[in-house]
Amino acid sequence: MDQRLQYIAEHFDELVIGPDEPFQFHCTQCGKCCVNREDILLNPKDLFRISQYLGLTPQETVSKCCEVYIGSSSRLPIVRLKPQGSRKRCPFLKDQKCSVHPVKPVVCAMFPIGRCVRCQKGQEVKEDIQIEFILNDPGCGDRSETHTVREWLGSFGIPVDDLSFRRWQKAVITIGTEIQKMESAFPQNMIDILWNIVYIEFYLRYDTNQDFDEQFIRNSAKVDEMMQRLLKEAEDTRRV
């Protein structure tokens, strides 16, 4: 975990901000948030929208400007934008401007606001799980404008109660927990195959000419069905 994420984890309650609470921030377009970044993660909808905008398939977008690795905590495949050069700049930063601005990753659009969900370990994750917001010192811009979280997100077309985000977080927590159980029951080569299937279904198996959410729901159901089947097989094997 990098220092920024560690700080957020350790001071989370201090950083929480309600959707209708005000904060001061004005983007001066200095570009600092686009360099020295190794943590711009794409969720499946980010990858879908960027691919759609560029006229590429999700696989082509990943090959062109992303890296994929297994999260140390989530135990799921994670897609991040691949830093470029010694300044570790975002691959979409062109002439000090975002070349995919209309569809930029939601973490970039929301900056300096972040969002997450919290749940207890072992707790069933429901689709109506509450979204929480945080405000961390951005280290750039100025304080010449006042916004509320709701207004700030709305200016980028992001709803406060984002159903797509809740669905994704539910999948991350649920499937990640199941994979952790499987890692102690299956050989590594089987886990590698499993990771590849999860990566394909969550991130790549989309037609960018069709609705994202409908496809995500279908793909997520496939992953969940596969997980339940494998968990049952592992349990049956232990009983023999």
Q: Is residue 33 part of a domain?
A: yes
Phi, psi of 128 (to 5 degrees): -95, 20
SS3 state at 28: coil
Count how many domains the chain has: 1
**Amino acid identity at 5:** L
SS3 state at 159: coil
Q: Is residue 31 part of a domain?
A: yes
Q: Is residue 165 part of a domain?
A: yes
SS3 state at 21: coil
Mean pLDDT on 34-52: 94
Q: Residue 30: how many CA atoms within 13 Å on its side-chain side? A: 10
Q: Residue 199: how many CA atoms within 13 Å on its side-chain side? A: 20
Q: Residue by residue, what is the 3-state secondary structure of 87-150?
A: CCECCCEECCEECCHHHCCHHHHHCCEEEECCCCCCCCCCCCCCCEEEECCCCCCEEEEEEEHH
With bands split at pLDDT 50, 70 and 90, how would you rate the model's confidence at 3? low
CA–centroid distance for 182 within its chain: 23
Average pLDDT of the chain, as a whole number: 90
Strand partners, 116: 132
pLDDT at 208: 97
pLDDT tens per residue, range 201-215 = 999 999 999 999 999
Q: Residue 205: how many CA atoms within 13 Å on its side-chain side? A: 17
- Locus of tokens 């995500």: 216
Structure tokens at 235: 């349990």
Q: Name which of 44-48, 91-95, 134-138, 168-172 the model is least confident about.
A: 134-138
SS3 state at 231: helix
Domain containing 37 equals 1-232
Q: Is residue 69 part of a domain?
A: yes
Mean pLDDT on 145-153: 96
Q: Name which of 91-105, 119-133, 146-160, 190-204 the model is least confident about.
A: 119-133
**Residue 197 clears pLDDT 70, i.e. is over it:** yes
**Residue 1 clears pLDDT 60, i.e. is over it:** no
Mean pLDDT on 28-47: 91
Q: Is residue 237 part of a domain?
A: no
